[in-house]
Amino acid sequence: MKPGFAWRLIEWQGKHGRRDLPWQNTGSAYKTWLSEVMLQQTQVATVLGYFQRFTERFPTVEDLAVAESEEVMQLWQGLGYYSRARNLHACAKQVVARFNGEFPSTVPELESLPGIGRSTAGAIVSLGHGLRAPILDGNVKRVFCRHQAIFGYPEQSAVKKKLWQLAEDLLPDERAGQYNQALMDLGATVCTSRNPNCGACPVSKDCLAFKQGATGLLPTPKPRKERVQWFFIALLVEDSHGRQWMALQPDSGLWRGLWMPPILQLPSDSLNAETLREWLDQLGLDAEGLDELALQPWLVHDLTHRQMHFKCLRLKADSAHGLFESHAPGQKPEPRVFQKLRDHVSQLMLR
């Protein structure tokens, strides 16, 4: 390989790259895929424990394919972005049904599976199968945008197209897996979002952002857009054994496949006592504590595209309403916001 961008990165990776992550150098397309899906929008430190638990419980893609979806969601609980878990399970089933339990080794075949985009496919091909394919995850986009001084939000289609072309053009004929690993490692440890350590970077001598003093400006941030605001009343209804009313969320919507307490979405942040009374009435619950809701602060839960606001009513009831089941906290897969609601209510009670 001629000395150049790829060569310098591969050399650097051999000396300074990450080598001890449990999904590295396994030669397993299954483990590469699992780690890639978990690492989308999530830090390595958070993923480590989840990866270990998943691979212990599901050592092969067949084990994952035959698991109950509730168990998969339970193991995923806390990682967030739950559509990833649903796609993960659906993908495992298809790998078994369509590809005899072997992850395919071409990008188009991999992209035909649920939850696998072009970059994840490239990672599976290069890191899991040792073949040649480019990747373009968040770390790599950041390195390319800076190194080539590419301005414009990287998710805009014209910019993305340019970045993919660059990823193709720079990909070496040999050692594509180690090169891709080097790009990811450089983005994660040296060319970091804030304060890149250009002094330790193997490609600084031809990095345009470094030369132009523009590292702080690249990649171009996402254009600001107002987030959607949602308002909810949540009921934390407990029976005499400390179990809570929960319902499995329907197959569509944000929390599908997870368990949530009764919640009512409001059209705005104003509380209509009559609507709330009717709702409680339908559930066979007394409207106790309703007056205090007006004084209760909103609990804010931030998501990428929306901001959710909750007020909670804590009530006692002997048996669950027909729509709900009673379960001990933590027994069912539930979104992180549910735990936040419980903590919120406990804190309010301490005041």
CB of 141 to ligand SF4, least distance (A): 12
Task: Using the minimum distance from each CB to ligand SF4, give the nearer residue, 208 or 293.
Answer: 208
Q: Which residues contact 12 (CB under 8 A, 6 or more apart)?
A: 182, 186, 202
Element containing residue 265 per DSSP (H, E)? strand 263-266
CB of 207 to ligand SF4, least distance (A): 3
Which residue, chain included where needed, has tokens 């600001």? 224
End-to-end CA distance of the chain: 67
- Residue 149 beta carbon to ligand SF4: minimum distance, rounded to whole angstroms: 9
- Nearest approach in angstroms of CB 211 to ligand SF4 is 9
The one catalytic residue among 36, 56, 109, 174: 36
Q: Contact residues for ligand SF4 (CB under 6 A)?
A: 143, 146-147, 190-191, 196, 198, 201, 203-204, 207, 209-210, 215
Shortest CB 142 distance to ligand SF4, Å? 8
Nearer to ligand SF4 (CB atom), residue 108 or residue 199: 199
Give the other-Cβ count within 10 Å of 86's Cβ.
18
- Does 36 qualify as catalytic in the annotation? yes
Q: Which residues contact 176 (CB under 8 A, 6 or more apart)?
A: 126, 131, 132, 133, 134
Smaller CB separation from ligand SF4, 182 or 209: 209
Using alpha carbons, select from 159, 188, 164 the residue that is nearest to residue 43.
188
SS3 at position 71: helix
- Could you give the C-alpha distances from 266 to 220, 283, 308, 344, 348, in angstroms and in order? 36, 17, 11, 19, 22
Alpha-carbon dihedral of residues 169, 172, 177, 181, nearest 10 degrees?
-70
Closer residue to ligand SF4 (CB): 97 or 200: 200
Contact between residue 161 and residue 113 where contact means Cβ atoms under 8 Å apart: no
Nearer to ligand SF4, 91 or 201 (CB): 201
Residue positions annotated with a catalytic role: 36
